[in-house]
Amino acid sequence: MVAFDGGDPVAVSIGCKRPPHTLVNRIAVHPDHLRKGHGRHLLTSLSAKLAILGPPLLTAEIGAGNAPALALFQSCGWREETSYTDHVCDDPVAAAAPAGLVESVTVDDLIDVALPAAGARRSWDRTRGTLLNRKDRLLGLAIASDERIDASLLYTREPDESVAIWNLAAAADAGGEAALAVLLRELAHREPGSLLIPRAAEGELPIAWLPKLGFNAGTATIGMAAEARSRA
């Protein structure tokens, strides 16, 4: 959606739909037109439109330090629903796993055993729907035994040469933790650079394991939510 001042475009909102949710991915206002209500107009207009056309549940992910954006959404009736945290390993230990231990896998290989459930609370880029939609761009590694997959991950190499891990799963025991450590060392061996787990939810992965694996908590993101409603 675009907001105009006379004939000039001065603000834009960008989003995407995946029923029952609509993600407001970005709102931007021209610097010369700040504090004139354009951002609020875009949000309220989008809400009124979705109240009729759907999907009716609105979400947004806003940096915890972005006070103006948080204030804008709150003034439009949005509420803080959850928070996400980046986890970063700037100097990962790289070590090749024993031959045959780590297997390359695809999203389809993990779909029934390691992907989050459709309704699991995740940041948008880490949801089941997004992982399935982006499966042709995601690379995967796993360690499996005859009985189970001990650990797995899906990742991409980013333009800044970092490696972003979009899904991370491990058995909730010592064997899973050990397998995850081997898997991350193998990933660092194959893909040099820092490792990033972007916008992870609190219950998504074994947070207590991450410091032992070289990860530090980084930037926080606030998950905002609202229900679409007409102007009336």
Q: What is the pLDDT of residue 230?
A: 85
Residues 6 or more apart whose CB falls under 8 angstroms from that of 74 comprise: 80
CATH 3.40.630.30 is the classification of domain 2-83+222-227: yes
Residues 6 or more apart whose CB falls under 8 angstroms from that of 4 comprise: 10
pLDDT band with cut points at 50, 70 and 90 for residue 209: confident
**91 DSSP assignment:** S
Alpha helices in 11-114 (DSSP H): 38-53, 67-75, 107-110
- pTM listed for this prediction: 0.91
Fold of the domain spanning 93-213: Aminopeptidase (3.40.630)
Q: Is the pLDDT of residue 232 over 70?
A: no
Q: Per residue in 71-115, pLDDT tens?
A: 999 999 999 999 999 999 999 999 999 999 999 999 999 999 999
As annotated, the residues of the chain forming the CATH 3.40.630.30 domain(s) are: 2-83+222-227, 93-213
Q: What is the pLDDT of residue 179?
A: 94
The percentage of the chain sitting over the pLDDT mark of 90, rounded to a whole number, equals 79
